[in-house]
């Protein structure tokens, strides 16, 4: 069975350049601008949505107690801020098998 291969950045830029009849550099600039916009919105509002695909959300986690898996010793896990990606329902339904 053949192993699945993921699409790299340069293949992504080439796909969009061909699909929309533009130069690869223009496709790259589009994705650079999208990245910049998402960073700005995440800092400003704490979330950014790519309609029909994914919603990025900044989430603050409280400090909590945990366990060291090697020793079983209780440890304090400090508070931190993380970035979560939530896949939209239409994309999940299109990709995942129906039950």
Question: Over its length of 99 residues, how does the chain's per-residue pLDDT go in tens digits?
Answer: 557 789 999 999 999 999 999 999 999 999 999 999 999 999 999 999 999 999 999 999 999 999 999 999 999 999 999 999 999 999 999 999 887
CA distance 25 to 88: 29
- Give the other-Cβ count within 10 Å of 27's Cβ: 19
pTM of the model as a whole:
0.78
Contact indicator for 21, 31 with CB cutoff of 8 Å: no
Helix or strand or coil: residue 55?
A: strand
Tokens coding 86: 């939530």
């Amino acid at each position: 069975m053949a192993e699945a291969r993921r699409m790299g950045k340069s293949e992504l830029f080439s796909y969009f350049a061909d699909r929309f009849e533009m130069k690869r550099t223009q496709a790259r600039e589009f994705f650079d601008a999208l990245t910049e916009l998402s960073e700005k919105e995440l800092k400003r509002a704490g979330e950014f949505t790519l309609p029909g695909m994914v919603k990025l959300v900044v989430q603050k986690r409280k400090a909590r107690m945990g366990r060291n898996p090697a020793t079983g010793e209780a440890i304090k896990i400090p508070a931190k801020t993380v970035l979560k990606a939530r896949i939209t329902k239409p994309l999940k339904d299109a990709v995942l098998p129906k039950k």
